[in-house]
Amino acid sequence: MPRHRIGAILLLAVVAVILCLRTPEWPTVLNKPGREILNSTLGFQHIFAINLPSRTDRRDALVLAAALSGLDITWANGVPGEDVHDRVLPGDPSISRELSSGKRGSWRAHMNVLQRVVDENITSALILEDDADWDVRLKSQMQVFAQAARAFTQPSWNGRSVAEQLRDPPGQELPLNQLPQRTRRPRLTPYGDDWDVLWLGHCGTGFPEPTRGAPTSSFRVTIRNDDTVPPPQHLRPHPFALQDALSETYPPHTRVVHAASRTVCTQAYAVSQQGARKLLWQFGLQTLTTGWDLMLRDWCDGLYDSSDTDADADAGPEVSDDDRPRAPLCVTAQPPLFSHHYGRGAASDITAPGGGFVNKKKEMTPYVRRSVRLNMERLVNGQEAVEQWKIEGESSSA
């Protein structure tokens, strides 16, 4: 080949590389969340914990659990229901004024945190209730979760998330290691840029319905052989509950990440700035009908979606597809990464947990194998955390 040809080809190649680097989609990055998730706020800007100052017992325990896990907690004072006046309640007064004092206080405490997130322009915040518990391996679990969550929250090179691309036909899933290797670089949070809620601690969730045209994608990411996932017989929200469907659908030690659907209990959830704004608008200003976690459930399920009107209705102005608000994007995991710690006889100030479980002698935390709370005495004494369940046929140090 003549020299000048080779020169021309080289020049073209250089120009192509420069063009690629200048396009806004580039550079894409390996879909491997980095070390920022291992920091003391788990890669969020803040971790808030809601606690009534009078419950010093709970604050002591959570301070210690956080310290033992290298977490930095920002306290948000809980609100006694009596301090929430009728005139501040949004929505239909005949409903909101009938709510129990516990539900009013809980609503206001969560609204106060959302208000702070918006007021201080916080990019992302994890919100914990003061009885939350987690595995001593939380930070590495969160790294894996973030990688799976990005399939929902982070656009790939063509501008759409993996979950969007694979929403039809409904019901598709991919194991974590088969997700596309590259995504656009997340700019806002290591969990991806486009999400409202990451529902990390709950006491039950469904898989989204695999129906065409559902507001959220029914796509799932599976994490196999995750040995922080309890064996199937312990996949239940409290000791007397039925086993979760997860335990029959997947091989043991599988965690599944998917859009939240019928999710309940708010032991732990993260909000992005955009999520906090939407939630504060909806529940600070518009609606108060029931307990906070049930309202969040309905919100994530798209029940407050104002675009969800009859498409063929002839009344009202035409709304173009671009102008419709997108359904909320809430991502969750089964089993959850945070769970409710059942201490000795300590009933919640809001509502007692179900299953007749209060006042039982035995402490436990559903779904969490090496619980920080159950290992507190060992951990303060410099010992290794142990398994909560003795499991036949499996080594407990798995």
Ligand X SMILES: *[C@@H]1O[C@H](CO)[C@@H](O)[C@H](O)[C@H]1NC(C)=O
**34-42, 98-106, 133-141, 351-359 -> range binding ligand X (CB under 6 A):** 34-42
**12-20, 35-43, 157-165, 353-361 -> range binding ligand X (CB under 6 A):** 35-43
Footprint on residues 142-181 left by ligand X (CB under 6 A): none
Is position 40 an interface residue for ligand X (rule: CB under 6 A)? yes
One character per residue 41-80, x = contact with ligand X (rule: CB under 6 A): x-x-x--------------------------x--------
Residue type, 179: L
Indicate the SS3 state at residue 383.
coil
CB of 45 to ligand X, least distance (A): 4
Residue type, 8: A
Measure the CA angle with vertex 290, ends 335 and 83; round to 5°.
110
Q: How far apart, in whole angstroms, are the C-alpha atoms of residue 303 and residue 294?
A: 11
Q: How far apart, in whole angstroms, are the C-alpha atoms of residue 318 and residue 53?
A: 51
CB of 46 to ligand X, least distance (A): 8
Question: Where are any strands of DSSP class E within 31-123?
Answer: 46-51, 74-77
Q: How many residues bind ligand X (CB under 6 A)?
A: 10
Q: How far apart, in whole angstroms, are the C-alpha atoms of residue 117 and residue 45?
A: 10
Question: What secondary structure letter does DSSP report for 159?
Answer: S
Question: Is 68 or 264 the residue whose CB approaches ligand X more closely?
Answer: 68
Helix runs in 209-327, H state only = 246-249, 273-279, 292-300
Question: Is 39 or 172 the residue whose CB approaches ligand X more closely?
Answer: 39
Question: Where are any strands of DSSP class E within 202-357?
Answer: 220-223, 255-259, 268-272, 330-334, 338-340
Question: Is 36 or 298 the residue whose CB approaches ligand X more closely?
Answer: 36
Those residues whose C-beta lies under 8 Å from the C-beta of residue 98, and which sit 6 or more positions away, are none
CB of 124 to ligand X, least distance (A): 7
Question: Is 53 or 70 the residue whose CB approaches ligand X more closely?
Answer: 70
Question: Is 41 or 289 the residue whose CB approaches ligand X more closely?
Answer: 41
Q: How far apart, in whole angstroms, are the C-alpha atoms of residue 166 and residue 173?
A: 8
**33-41, 93-101, 318-326, 352-360 -> range binding ligand X (CB under 6 A):** 33-41
Footprint on residues 88-127 left by ligand X (CB under 6 A): 121, 123
Question: Is 121 or 395 the residue whose CB approaches ligand X more closely?
Answer: 121
CB of 42 to ligand X, least distance (A): 7
Q: How far apart, in whole angstroms, are the C-alpha atoms of residue 235 and residue 6?
A: 63
- Tallying the residues shown for the chain, one arrives at 398
Q: Which tokens go with 379?
A: 């951990």
Question: Is 126 or 295 the residue whose CB approaches ligand X more closely?
Answer: 126
Residue numbers at the binding site for ligand X (CB under 6 A): 36, 39-41, 43, 45, 72, 121, 123, 190
